[in-house]
Amino acid sequence: MHAGPAGYGELAEQLRAAVRSVGDWMAEYGEFTPHPSLDVAEDDLRRATGALHERLRENYPFFHPRYVGQMLKPPHPAAVIGYLTAMLINPNNHALDGGPATARMEKEVTAELAAMFGYPTHLGHLTSSGTIANLEALFVARQTHPGQAIAHSADAHYTHARMCHLLGVESVPVAAGADGTLDLQALEETLRGGRIGTVVATAGTTGLGAVDPVHEIIPLARRYGARVHVDAAYGGFFRLIADDSGDGVAAAPFAAIAGSDSVVIDPHKHGLQPYGCGAVIFRDPGVARHYLHDSPYTYFTSDELHLGEISLECSRAGAAAAALWLTLELLPLTADGLGAVLRPGRRAARAWAGLIEESEQLSLFQPPQLDILSYFPSCFPGRPRLSQIDAASARVLDGGMQRPSDQSLFVATYTVDGASLAARGHRVDADVASGRILRSVLMKPEIEERVPALHQQVLDLLADA
């Protein structure tokens, strides 16, 4: 089956087969008449559906290689089939009696994710998002190290400070280095105070795609008695191509995740899943004790572990587990499976970075570590001002979206200040406190062959401005 619009005819047939299959299964339990309150007129349904189709056209073309803005792309057709098929049944993976089949699928895919990271034992489950997954990890951090603070990079996702506030835990931001990764010297100075119970390392920041040196953070944190949580929501699947090769990524940080206490990953990013599908995994199954609770009307059909017994969320879509399970049946967590989907994006980032470095109109903010590219207009006489860079970046952003559909370009921006530019060796006059540069997320494999054209589009937009 082909992904994308070209394969939608085949996808439609598979979805029809899914509806027939679920309908045949339902028929085994005997016919019944649905309540008339659920009936809607066919003409009304067509009208409302037509309005829905029209309103959905307001979206940006996340599916297209010219969309290199945010971390958005359609799910794989296998995920769509898995999700819709299970959604017709609508299982709830909180308790086994709410979704016995999909709960088992969830346990299976969670075990595969744990094995990908090298955990010898594990406890974990899917979540509705990376934010909730990180909340659970920080909740356990609070329970295991009560009264102690949680340290994270100043460039880490804002969810960590927000969730610490929610949990009533002190959040301690630690300075990032010139490449956007956690500064080890600053971390050690923070750890010396003795108030840090957990260090959060990020394997792929959502801003720049920077990968913290997990292999150095873990031994440093252990020296001071702190546990380590790895936020790999964005970059976790790069573990499959962490081989130090030209189209892979640095091996050491990803291999070291095996020694962390917990890890979060978002299958709804590089795992080709629909929103929302995150996952939290703990190395020590004993942390289940922190989730202990009782309910008089659940957990009664089996003595097996019910996923609701190890989750802060209650109701969760079993369809998400079915979608991920079916996807991994076809694209397994191997370098030749799902890893082959990630390599083109990594090659695209390196290739486009090379074009930018050769350009007189653009400058590379910093070399890409994953598949996120950061760059800025530098085609100004004399020393560029940050206000000029900001205005030119905004014109590229707006100009690309305003072009006709078949010529459009969708990028994103990233806010920087003079200090962050200077730290990377860029001579810029910081005449304003902060400004926007350009940022492109190259997570769709089809982007690789479009890199020269994308680069030229950015140059054309600069020339038109």
Q: Could you tell me the residue ranges of all domains in the chain?
A: 100-330, 341-464
DSSP states of 92-157 as a string?
Answer: BTTSTTT-HHHHHHHHHHHHHHHHHHT-SS-EEEEES-HHHHHHHHHHHHHHHSTT-EEEEETTS-
Q: How far apart are CA 409 and CA 398, in angstroms?
A: 9
The answer to whether 335 touches 241, Cβ cutoff 8 Å, is yes
- Mean pLDDT, rounded, for 165-182: 96
Phi/psi at 325 (5° precision)? -60, -50
For position 464, what pLDDT does the model report?
A: 83
Alpha carbon separation from 395 to 179, 355, 382, 460, 463 (Å, rounded):
26, 21, 20, 11, 10
Token representation of residue 356: 């930018």
Q: Is the pLDDT of residue 1 over 60?
A: yes
Alpha helix positions (H), 176-213: 184-191
Q: Where are the beta strands (DSSP E) in 183-291?
A: 196-202, 227-231, 262-265, 278-282
One-letter amino acid identity for 122? Answer: H
Q: Whole-model pTM?
A: 0.94
Q: Is the pLDDT of residue 465 over 80?
A: no
Alpha carbon separation from 368 to 47, 196, 211, 270 (Å, rounded):
47, 30, 10, 17
Which of 94-98, 290-294, 407-411 has the lowest average pLDDT? 290-294
* pLDDT-based confidence at residue 312 (cuts at 50, 70, 90): confident
For position 307, what pLDDT does the model report?
A: 77
Q: Provide the 3-class DSSP secondary structure of residue 443.
A: coil
For the chain, the average pLDDT equals 94
Q: Where are the beta strands (DSSP E) in 319-420?
A: 362-366, 372-377, 412-416
pLDDT in tens, 100-109: 999 999 999 9
* pLDDT-based confidence at residue 452 (cuts at 50, 70, 90): very high
Q: Provide the 3-class DSSP secondary structure of residue 338.
A: coil
* pLDDT-based confidence at residue 286 (cuts at 50, 70, 90): very high
What fold does the segment set 341-464 form as a domain? Aspartate Aminotransferase, domain 1 (3.90.1150)
- Mean pLDDT, rounded, for 347-375: 97
CATH ID of 100-330, from 3.40.50.150, 1.10.150.80, 3.20.20.210, 3.40.640.10? 3.40.640.10
Q: Is 435 exposed, middle or buried (0-12, 13-18, 19+ CB in 10 A)?
A: buried
Q: How far apart are CA 48 and CA 54, in angstroms?
A: 10
- Characterize 344-378 residue by residue with b for buried, 16 or more Cβ atoms within 10 angstroms of its Cβ, and e for exposed: bbbbbbbbbbebbeebeebbbbbebbbbbbbbbbb
N-term to C-term CA, the chain: 42
Phi/psi at 137 (5° precision)? -65, -40
pLDDT in tens, 229-254: 999 999 999 999 999 999 999 999 99
